[in-house]
A and B are shown apart, each in its own frame.
Chain A
Amino acid sequence: MSDFFLTAVLTLDASVRVCVPLIFAAMAGLFAERSGVVDIGLEGKLLMSAFVAASAASVFGSPWLGLIAGMFASSVLAMIHGFASITYKGNQIVSGVAINILASGLTMILTLAWFKRGGITPTLQGDERFLSITLPGVDFIDHIPFLGVIYRELISGHNILVYLAFAIVPVVWWIVFRTRFGLQLRAVGENPKAVDTAGLSVEGLRYKALLIGGILCGIGGAYLSTAYNAQFTKEMTAGGGFIALAALIFGKWHPYRVLAACFLFAFLQALAIRLQGVIIPGIGEIPVQLIDATPYILTIILLAGFIGKAVPPKASAQPYIKEL
């Protein structure tokens, strides 16, 4: 029983770690889509930031500089997306896909150009990456049954970005639903004309939303390569940006629900890792491929019918063209 409990806690712990980039990317997407810009380029921004953060951390020997560089790189991509789809009113999906392709190609070329290696950056040593933090009181609470394990394994022992990810969700909620900017953000995603005729700048609001998204994606990417892993590897985001997008729809563009969706998807991934090699009586070993595919299959099933109607912000994916 206690073995099972420990396994369960460890699986949840792994879920927490897997969840982090999803949260950052999904919150980034939330800002973008609430403003009426579909952000299919989340994946590309995560990847670009992961690469730039790992490179900067390796060159300057500081994960913090890596983080800043990652946020900057991701924001640059966000602004390119904005330039194409807000200023020039291009198709948001096409521009987002372009960001993904650009990031995928650019990271490969730059690893070769800068580090003479195809698709990877040098391994980060010691404090070149974000290290785990042991929260105070672990030794003390450890003696309490169950709670001790939960505190030691699940709550303590993560790096700073993990805590930041979970802390940022209520902040996002507060910004979106309690501040002037949030009100205007939601309005511009629903009816940009109402915003324009209220004397506000539709473009300005959308750029702001994308910039915030760029910064958040930057943190998510940096986490992948300088905290969760110790280097950048080719295509290391492995569809995380798209899963985040699915979580956004699944969570109906609401921060807490989106967090729950991110955690669910992360849990499925963590479970898949856990279940590898497990033999189920009467069936035999579960094929690894099937386990790996589980999160995606479940995503399709859940999105297809189990969450009710997910209504996106009304002006989503529509460039704002001023006319009567």
Chain B
Amino acid sequence: MSESKIAKKLMSESKIAIELINVDKHFGAVHANDKVNLSVESGTIHGIVGENGAGKSTLMSILYGFYQADSGQIKVFDKDFRATSSRQSIEAGIGMVHQHFMLVDNFTVLENVILGSEGGALISQSLAKARIELTRLAKEYGLEVELDIAVEELSVGMQQRVEILKGLYKGARVLILDEPTGVLTPQESDELFRIFDALKKQGVTIILITHKLREIMNITDHVSVMRAGKMVAHRETSKTNPEELAELMIGRKVLLNIEKSKAKSGKALLTAKNLEIYNEQGLKRVTEVSFQAHSGEILGIAGVTGNGQGSLLKALAGILPLSKGSIKIMGKTITPESHLNPKQLRELGVAHVPEDRQKMGMIADFSASETALLGYHNDKEINQGVWLKRSSVKANCESLMQAFDVRPNNPNLMSSNFSGGNQQKLILAREFERDPEVLIIGQPTRGVDIGAIEFIRKRIIEMRDAGKAIILISVELEEIMSLSDRIIVMCDGEITGTVDAKDANEATLGMMMANALQPQDEPKGAKL
């Protein structure tokens, strides 16, 4: 096989930092890692791609000592290695930046860095020592961070720097990063990649877990592909292309770009004027936001997570009240004084696909048939007096499953037992199949496998072509750009830009997402 040949070639050519041999891991019935082999050359950037649930994170967590492999062998810098806790991994020179940061929010940067490697029984000396060392590291790699500020007050990008510094301070020579750009603006990502370069020059080995093929192509030296727990291919990045990688990831050809016809946009079905919205914690999240959504059009709302899109979505769905402004929707008007709740909105023909399907879209412990009627449980067809008609409930779910190809098509299965993609398809089916006029969709493909992404996007475009008004909120720029007809960019609760999709490119959208777009061309990343 060509894969193993490449692996062998790598081994003979240079020093191997990490070598995994037949690493196997089960979680109950799930075979998370199936005899995985991997070798990572020292001083390179090695990408690991795969769909959600392909076993990338599990594999790296084994390497980091968070989980233990059932069988197999691990070598770190040619030494046999077996970790029962992260301590051994840290001692062996492995650092990991998790997807969800492992930081103590109310600790200062300095305290977070020394946690677990304090040195003495008193923290004052360790803090002093860390301050000197971190100042040095910051200079060497361009990782400047304020050291005495509580981590919760830092931006996500800065928190990520703290995580990287934590690893370096503890002597990491191999740094694993799990989906590091998921929470960053494109400019912040570029900054991160610049840091990668600096690290690489100093001989640090970087393992990058991602599902974004663009990143793999731009910055890695080698790439390994995982699918369903197996390592299916190793490639030199320069000798592969996104199409091949995508095919390897899902095991068949996929269309990365959905074809769509020109939008035939009609009358405005939803008009939002000067919206001001406070979130559940009483913080102002949206200020002075106005826009219109037309029939037959997809309006994309882009922005880095946490810039008010979530609250806007909830207000449009009737979950959060307005504190100022008005929303005209299907002939009715929502104002701070006259609120419409989600049920009333649904009756008007507004469908809502929440951003967080686990928390708001479904109930994990309910059967699929119960999840399939959430929000529509008062419908006449499924009610008989105070009782639900079990047969109709089941029939409803079966027809939704059929329409959206949900697998397995078993209405009695617990909702949590479906894969992310199939859960999402069931929720979309529930909302789409009631023939709504306005669709408010949050993160339709978050945590969904590529095959399902393709399917979901096609369905969204079908709804558009059927004359519905669609408001799409997504943190994936690529998704916004490939689906939307018009794009609104939000930053810090305000609209920082509106562009026609055909004029949009990643650079300008990125600048708008960071609210760094000035009439005079500012240097790139200046306001980050």
Cross-interface CB contact of B117 among A198, A322, A324, cutoff 8 Å: A198
Instruction: Give, as a whole number of angstroms, the nearest-CB distance from A74 to chain B.
Output: 26
Instruction: Provide the residues of chain B in CB contact with A196, threshold 8 Å.
Output: 66, 85-86
Instruction: Give, as a whole number of angstroms, the nearest-CB distance from B80 to chain A.
Output: 19
> Which residues of A (104-141) have their CB < 8 Å from a CB of B?
none
Instruction: Provide the residues of chain A in CB contact with B124, threshold 8 Å.
Output: 178
Instruction: Provide the residues of chain A in CB contact with B88, threshold 8 Å.
Output: 199
Cross-interface CB contact of B104 among A179, A190, A199, A322, cutoff 8 Å: A190
CB of B104 within 8 A of CB of A191, answer yes
Cross-interface CB contact of B115 among A178, A194, A314, cutoff 8 Å: A194
CB of A198 within 8 A of CB of B122, answer no
Q: Which of A6-14, A160-168, A181-189, A240-248 lies at the interface with chain B?
A: A181-189
Question: Which of under 10, 10 to 19, 20 to 34, or 35 or more describes the interface residues of B?
Answer: 35 or more
Q: Which of B105-113, B213-221, B376-384 lies at the interface with chain A?
A: B105-113
Instruction: Give, as a whole number of angstroms, the nearest-CB distance from B122 to chain A.
Output: 6
CB of A180 within 8 A of CB of B126, answer yes
With both beta carbons as reference points, the residue of chain A lying nearest to B121 in the complex is identified as A180
With both beta carbons as reference points, the residue of chain B lying nearest to A314 in the complex is identified as B105
> Which residues of A (179-216) have their CB < 8 Å from a CB of B?
179-184, 186-187, 190-191, 193-201
A183–B67 alpha-carbon span in the complex (Å): 25
Interface residue B419 (Cβ < 8 Å from any Cβ of A): no
CB of B66 within 8 A of CB of A322, answer yes
A182–B107 alpha-carbon span in the complex (Å): 12
CB of A324 within 8 A of CB of B115, answer no
A76–B513 alpha-carbon span in the complex (Å): 57
Instruction: Provide the residues of chain A in CB contact with B126, threshold 8 Å.
Output: 180
CB of B115 within 8 A of CB of A179, answer no
With both beta carbons as reference points, the residue of chain A lying nearest to B60 in the complex is identified as A324
Interface string of B117-136 (1 = CB under 8 A from A): 11011111010000000000
CB of A180 within 8 A of CB of B120, answer yes
Interface residue B64 (Cβ < 8 Å from any Cβ of A): yes
With both beta carbons as reference points, the residue of chain B lying nearest to A197 in the complex is identified as B102
CB of A324 within 8 A of CB of B61, answer yes
Interface residue B57 (Cβ < 8 Å from any Cβ of A): yes
Interface residue B471 (Cβ < 8 Å from any Cβ of A): no
Known: A197-B66, A199-B65, A200-B87. A183 touches B111 (CB 8 A): yes
Interface residue B76 (Cβ < 8 Å from any Cβ of A): no
A181–B86 alpha-carbon span in the complex (Å): 18
Interface residue B28 (Cβ < 8 Å from any Cβ of A): no
Instruction: Provide the residues of chain A in CB contact with B102, threshold 8 Å.
Output: 191, 193-194, 197-198
Cross-interface CB contact of A194 among B61, B85, B104, cutoff 8 Å: B104
CB of B116 within 8 A of CB of A195, answer yes
Instruction: Provide the residues of chain B in CB contact with A183, threshold 8 Å.
Output: 111, 114-115, 118, 123
Instruction: Provide the residues of chain B in CB contact with A194, threshold 8 Å.
Output: 102-104, 112, 115
A178–B112 alpha-carbon span in the complex (Å): 14
With both beta carbons as reference points, the residue of chain B lying nearest to A193 in the complex is identified as B102
Interface residue B63 (Cβ < 8 Å from any Cβ of A): no
Interface residue B90 (Cβ < 8 Å from any Cβ of A): yes
Interface residue B429 (Cβ < 8 Å from any Cβ of A): no
Instruction: Give, as a whole number of angstroms, the nearest-CB distance from B480 to chain A.
Output: 28
Instruction: Give, as a whole number of angstroms, the nearest-CB distance from B127 to chain A.
Output: 10
Known: A178-B124, A180-B123. A199 touches B90 (CB 8 A): yes
With both beta carbons as reference points, the residue of chain B lying nearest to A322 in the complex is identified as B66
A200–B86 alpha-carbon span in the complex (Å): 8
A47–B66 alpha-carbon span in the complex (Å): 41
With both beta carbons as reference points, the residue of chain A lying nearest to B114 in the complex is identified as A183
Cross-interface CB contact of B123 among A179, A190, A314, cutoff 8 Å: A179
Instruction: Give, as a whole number of angstroms, the nearest-CB distance from B86 to chain A.
Output: 4
With both beta carbons as reference points, the residue of chain A lying nearest to B57 in the complex is identified as A324
A239–B90 alpha-carbon span in the complex (Å): 47
Instruction: Provide the residues of chain B in CB contact with A198, threshold 8 Å.
Output: 86, 90, 102, 115-117
Interface centre among B67, B111, B116 (most CB of A within 10 A): B116
Instruction: Give, as a whole number of angstroms, the nearest-CB distance from B354 to chain A.
Output: 23
Interface residue B459 (Cβ < 8 Å from any Cβ of A): no
CB of B122 within 8 A of CB of A190, answer no
Known: A197-B96, A198-B115, A199-B85. A187 touches B104 (CB 8 A): yes
A293–B123 alpha-carbon span in the complex (Å): 44
Instruction: Provide the residues of chain B in CB contact with A322, threshold 8 Å.
Output: 66-67
Instruction: Give, as a whole number of angstroms, the nearest-CB distance from A36 to chain B.
Output: 12
Interface residue B415 (Cβ < 8 Å from any Cβ of A): no
Instruction: Provide the residues of chain A in CB contact with B89, threshold 8 Å.
Output: 199
Interface residue B98 (Cβ < 8 Å from any Cβ of A): yes
Interface string of B376-401 (1 = CB under 8 A from A): 00000000000000000000000000
Instruction: Provide the residues of chain B in CB contact with A324, threshold 8 Å.
Output: 57-58, 61, 66, 98-99
Instruction: Give, as a whole number of angstroms, the nearest-CB distance from B405 to chain A.
Output: 29
Interface string of B81-101 (1 = CB under 8 A from A): 000011111110000101100
A306–B170 alpha-carbon span in the complex (Å): 44
Cross-interface CB contact of B116 among A178, A181, A186, A199, cutoff 8 Å: A199
CB of B115 within 8 A of CB of A195, answer yes
CB of A180 within 8 A of CB of B118, answer yes
A194–B112 alpha-carbon span in the complex (Å): 9
Instruction: Provide the residues of chain A in CB contact with B85, threshold 8 Å.
Output: 196, 199, 201
Instruction: Give, as a whole number of angstroms, the nearest-CB distance from A310 to chain B.
Output: 14
Instruction: Provide the residues of chain A in CB contact with B123, threshold 8 Å.
Output: 178-180, 182-183
CB of A187 within 8 A of CB of B122, answer no
Instruction: Provide the residues of chain A in CB contact with B64, threshold 8 Å.
Output: 197
Interface centre among B86, B96, B117 (most CB of A within 10 A): B86
CB of B86 within 8 A of CB of A199, answer yes
CB of B86 within 8 A of CB of A187, answer no
A321–B306 alpha-carbon span in the complex (Å): 27
With both beta carbons as reference points, the residue of chain B lying nearest to A174 in the complex is identified as B122
Known: A194-B115, A324-B61. A187 touches B107 (CB 8 A): yes
Name 17 extra pairs, CB < 8 A, besides A190-B104, A198-B90, A199-B86: A179-B122, A179-B123, A180-B122, A180-B126, A187-B104, A194-B115, A197-B64, A197-B86, A197-B98, A197-B102, A198-B115, A199-B91, A199-B116, A200-B115, A314-B105, A324-B61, A324-B99
List the interface of chain A (C-beta within 8 A of B): 178-184, 186-187, 190-191, 193-201, 314, 322, 324
List the 6 shortest-distance A-B pairs measured between CB atoms, nearest first. Answer: A198-B116, A199-B87, A194-B102, A199-B86, A180-B118, A197-B102
List, sorted by A's number, 28 A–B pairs whose CB atoms are closer than 8 Å: A178-B124, A180-B118, A180-B120, A183-B111, A183-B114, A183-B118, A184-B118, A191-B102, A191-B103, A191-B104, A194-B104, A196-B86, A197-B86, A197-B96, A197-B102, A198-B86, A198-B102, A198-B116, A198-B117, A199-B65, A199-B116, A200-B116, A201-B85, A314-B105, A324-B57, A324-B61, A324-B66, A324-B99
